[in-house]
Amino acid sequence: MEVVQLLVSGLANGCVYGLIALGFVLIYKATEQVNFAQGDFMMLGAFVCLGLTNAHYVGLPFWVAAPLSIAIMAVLGYLLDFFVLRHLFGQSQTAVVILTIALGFVIRFVAGVIWSHEPQTLESPLAIGDFNIGGVVLGMADIAVIVVTVLLTYFLYQFFQRTKLGLAMQAASQNQMAAYFMGIPVKRVQGMIWGLSGAVAAVAGILFASKGAIDPNAGLLGIKAFAAAVIGGFGSLPGALMGGLIVGVIEPFASRYFPAGYSQIAPYTLLLFVLVFRPHGLFSQVRIKKV
Amino acid sequence: MRIHFKTSYEHDIRLFPDWWSFFVYATLIVIAVALPWLMDDFFLGEVTNVLIWAIAGLGLMLLTGQTGQASLGHAAFLALGCYSCIIFMEQGWPFLIAFPAAGILTGVVGTIIAIPAIRLHGIYLAIATIALSILADDIIVLMEPITDGVSGKFAPMITIFGIEIERWTTPDRFYWLVLAVTILCTLAYRNLLRSPLGRAMAAVRDSEVSATAMGVHIARTKAAAFGISCAITGLAGALMGFYAGAFNNETFSIVISITLLMMIVIGGLGSIHGAFFGAVVVAFLPQFLSMTKDLIGGGSVAIPGLETGVFGMILILFILFEPMGIYGRWMKIRIWFELFPFARKDMFKRQKSYLKTERLR
């Protein structure tokens, strides 16, 4: 029973990591840029929803506030690409990495100024308590997280495989010049993908905030999600989710069965092992460069 | 306007291109040596801090600016250098042996870590080094018998040939020690750039494919870059430990790694000057912010995250408008004056490049 209990709470945590990792992978798949601020996007999405929902801020009903905050984050993602990242066109990957890390610092600072550094809880209808199935206690929020994540991943996968826009995004990432010649508005497509990833980050944030308190430093979770994305292999949506689940499940088991102090290094040790033996992740998509 | 007529290969690799630049740097060193008589102890301490950051920046610059491998884990090597130097000294080794030994140890560990890391590219290397930086924190806690874990260690007094050096009681001597290490590291870096290894590093940075075609052994060059970079960083870490006086597992956190990388980007990637300019920004930003806060009348109200927030803002502006950093801007201004009135706007225009993925799907 204890194992099942750990597994479920691990899966729920893993889904949040997986959702943040999904945001990384979306942007990477379409633009080959890596958004290190994705964790802070998640935090910002959670705080926007919290600010709209909680009684002593705006006080909207949750089911109005949640879609609204997802929309706000999508617009924010698009504007970010429009005003900042589009000007980096043609610069190296490292420049984007450093820029987004700096962006994370700025977002954390701004969120701290607006909503203060105290941990706060979202007044969410998802957090209505636990129920008991054959000795296993499941939180409603945990189940909601798992269901939403699976649905979202499925829809995004279908979106990339089947819709015109999804294919355009893939084409733009594989060869920008050729995509231009095929009539794809590469810049606008990239803006849309940043908007989409902002929306995914908001979903992750709302789910994360339903599970417990958040503060502006919650964005540092992004590093763990990044590890998840790398373990799964950048550029693969199911891979990102798998990576997130692996990291999420390892954590509670490590803290249960390993001595104290060794448990929090488990995900990073796994990450280093994956990088040493499969440098492009478990679901690799890269050929070896030949001269 | 000065024109260098290069008549032999020796001319091309001279340490100083002409007597004028030799004169400029000699003056700079004379002023730097005389600084303790020109400043009070507080500002001397700040300048010492700048120099220590500059050494650490030089270490990372060699790896990121010169060889093109972005590392977000150099705080781990700062920690290794710091802990090993002070543990050696606690074993009774004199400073003059413990300090280089700490550098060499850090360099060797860096090379060993590089062996798996050189298979990684770009973001994968960045995330692997982030993991390293996070692991370093936990490993220090786990190795408590040696490192004293969370409670931390205190830096002992440095003694060189009977002269006692300590950061608080003799700030001028500590400053001269740091200055000497800075000059040695800078000279080593400058000489490395003129050697075949330094040229090979630049070739690896610019294009691995063409470097291979030219006969550069990529793995060996990257491993050497890692080793030398980590050694210099380790020396800076040891000095940082002495500067702080006391340190524990949280002194060298991942934020330090990130700050270090941002610092060399602000300064200007790929140049020695950049490490120094960046160090000035990093070391003086907190002072500058508190002074502006006093001017505005904010008083002593602490705003958490203000420093990193402003730092991030500065960095974003630099990447957007001056990707070459402070040194790049300085070069542009200088060339504009040297060529006056023939400088054109398009001279520094970036070439447009289009992305082509290496992924299959």
The answer to whether residues A41 and A198 touch, using CB atoms and an 8 Å cutoff, is: yes
Question: Which tokens in the block code for residue A129?
Answer: 């308590």
Element (H, E) at B232: helix B218-244
Q: Which residues of B126-142 are buried (b: 16+ CB within 10 A; e: fewer)?
A: bbbbbbbbbbbbbbbbb
Place of tokens 């060797």: B108
Please give the tally of structural domains in chain A.
1
Report the percentage of chain A scoring pLDDT > 90. Answer: 8
**Domain edges within chain B:** 1-38, 41-266
C-alpha–C-alpha distance, residues A26 and A23, integer Å: 5
Q: What mean pLDDT is reported for chain B?
A: 85
Q: Which domain holds residue A50?
A: 2-219
- Nearest residue in chain A measured CA to CA from B310: A106
Taking CB atoms and an 8 Å limit, are B116 and A101 in contact across chains?
A: no
**Predicted ipTM of the assembly:** 0.82
Q: Give the count of alpha carbons within 13 A of A120, CB side only.
A: 24
Taking CB atoms and an 8 Å limit, are A230 and B313 in contact across chains?
A: no
C-alpha–C-alpha distance, residues B303 and B310, integer Å: 11
Judge whether A26 lies within some domain.
yes
Taking CB atoms and an 8 Å limit, are B355 and A173 in contact across chains?
A: yes
Phi-psi region of A216 (alpha: psi -120 to 50; beta: other; left: phi over 0): alpha
Element (H, E) at B135: helix B122-142
Best CA proximity match to B133, nearest among B211, B74, B205: B74
- B134 in contact with A at a CB cutoff of 8 Å? yes
- Residue type at B218 in one-letter notation: I
- B320 in contact with A at a CB cutoff of 8 Å? yes
Backbone phi and psi for residue A36, each to the nearest 5 degrees, phi listed first: -70, -10
Measured between beta carbons, the chain A residues lying within 8 angstroms of B353 are 90
Angle at A262 between CA A259 and CA A263, to 5 degrees: 90
Please give the pLDDT value at position B302: 66
- Chain A nearest-CA distance from B208, in A, is 9
- A184 in contact with B at a CB cutoff of 8 Å? no
Judge whether A231 lies within some domain.
no
- B122 in contact with A at a CB cutoff of 8 Å? yes
Taking CB atoms and an 8 Å limit, are B303 and A175 in contact across chains?
A: no
Q: How many residues does chain B have?
A: 361
- B323 in contact with A at a CB cutoff of 8 Å? yes
Taking CB atoms and an 8 Å limit, are A280 and B354 in contact across chains?
A: no
Q: Alpha carbon of B216 to those of A288, B200, B201, B222, B228: distances in Å?
A: 18, 6, 9, 10, 18
Of A89, A275, A289, the CB nearest to B120: A275
- Nearest residue in chain B measured CA to CA from A102: B312
- Select from B113, B119, B127 the residue whose CB has the most chain A CBs within 10 Å, as the one to mutate to test that interface: B127
Q: Dump pLDDT digits (tens) for B308-319.
A: 888 888 888 888
Measured between beta carbons, the chain A residues lying within 8 angstroms of B68 are 94
Please give the pLDDT value at position A291: 45
C-alpha–C-alpha distance, residues B292 and A275, integer Å: 45
Please give the pLDDT value at position B172: 85
Which residues numbered 120-179 in A keep a CB inside 8 Å of some CB on B? 170, 173-177
Judge whether A264 lies within some domain.
no
Question: Which tokens in the block code for residue A126?
Answer: 């998802």
pLDDT tens series, chain A, 291 aa: 678 878 888 888 888 888 888 888 888 877 778 888 888 999 999 999 888 888 777 778 888 888 999 999 999 999 998 888 887 766 777 788 888 888 988 998 888 888 887 888 777 776 666 677 766 777 777 888 888 888 888 888 888 888 998 888 888 877 778 888 888 888 888 889 899 999 999 998 888 888 878 888 887 788 888 888 888 777 777 888 888 888 888 888 888 887 777 777 888 888 888 887 876 666 655 555 444
Best CA proximity match to A10, nearest among A139, A200, A193, A101: A139
